[in-house]
Amino acid sequence: MKRGFVRRIVPVLMALVVLEGFGVVATAPASPPCVHRLLVLSAVPGEMDRIISSAHLERTVTIDGRNFWVGDLRGNKVVMALTGVGLVHAEHSTRTALAYFRCGSGTAIDGIVFSGTSGGRGNIGDVAVPDRWTLDEKVWYATDPEMLGVARAAIRAGIKLDRKVPLGDALCLGLDPDIVRTITMPAQPKITSGGNGKSADPFGGRAFPCVPGSGDVFGCQPCRAPHKSAPYLKRLVPTAAPFIDPNFFFGYFQNPPPSTTTFAAEDMESAAVAIVATEHGIPFIAFRAQSDGKGDPLMLPGFPFQFFVYRQIAADNAGIVALAFLRAWANR
């Protein structure tokens, strides 16, 4: 990022904060009804689009500057949300949902499902369902055995993943991201269950902000979500380090080690959610599809170049498996 861009973007962001004060923002109702629900999470807008477009939405709830979409999905009562990028946002979003959606003295969230993109040891487009997650390879957090069993049964029943790469909706215009197909992957993507998942924090414990209107990667809400606003800019200002400290921004684009990893999936959020789920005794499972790694017909030089080309096929394939699991979970 050039210094001139940094000098220009900061005043623009400050002006947007002022203008936002004139908008109407949805707020959380005082007493939400007591309905047990699954919490369905993704990190960035493009990861959630296939899922949220498959749901019947009842309402949007805004809590602490974050939108939560409440409704039905594949036979389940659900709350859906974007965590944002990174461990800090993933933990905060999960805790916010558990604290707000209540049944008496306990949380109404009785299961957590994460669907998103990752790196890993497989090929681009493959979906991994790890049976445990870690931050440091010392302490591990298990995927719920019942959820993993239902996922494996759904996989055995047959789930067809996408092989042709969608163009996506980079500008987040709300269009169907799968309308235009480009590259055909050399191998049919596959699903693997089991193995280890790892989450990392390249941001040193700081929150990487979403930016309103900035597309299907850095934006603040799913591109195909109802256009209900949330005070995202109020969240952006205290976490605007990327625009003040360019070195922090570049943490997102750090090249990971070569694709010789032994992990089934490597991301920036799942372990943080798994930790919160474990603390509360709530079942948790994550579906992560590779957006970078092996099997690239274009032979691009790894992350982030592969990510921006293959992010949508990975997001779609993770969503396909997550939706199949949710149907099976409702029918178990």
Structural domain spans, the chain: 34-130+143-330
> Token pair of 329, please?
């979970």
CB half-sphere exposure, 60, CA atoms < 13 A:
18
Q: Kindly state the tokens that stand for 18.
A: 């002022």
The stretch 214-219 carries a mean pLDDT of 86
Q: Are strands 102-103 and 196-199 parallel, antiparallel or unpaired?
A: unpaired
In which band, very low, low, confident or very high, does the pLDDT at 212 lie, cut at 50, 70 and 90? confident
> What CATH number belongs to 34-130+143-330?
3.40.50.1580
Determine the average pLDDT of the residues in 162-167. 92
- What pLDDT is attached to residue 68? 95
The residue that leads in pLDDT, 121 or 20, is 121
Backbone angles phi, psi at 242, to 5 degrees: -60, -30
Q: Answer with the residue of higher pLDDT: 182 or 118.
A: 118
Q: Give which of 147, 154, 151, 84 is closest to 282, Cα–Cα.
A: 147
Q: With beta carbons less than 8 A apart as the criterion, state whether 226 and 57 touch.
A: yes
Query: In the block, which residue shows the tokens 């163009």?
Result: 167
Report pLDDT for 1.
44
Label residues 187-217 b or e (16+ Cβ within 10 Å = b): eebebbbebbbbbbbbbeeebbbbbbeebbb
Looking at residue 90, its pLDDT comes to 96
Secondary structure of residue 99 in the 3-state scheme: helix
119-157 tens-digit pLDDT = 999 999 999 999 999 999 999 999 999 999 999 999 999
Whether the per-residue pLDDT at 13 is higher than 80: the answer is no
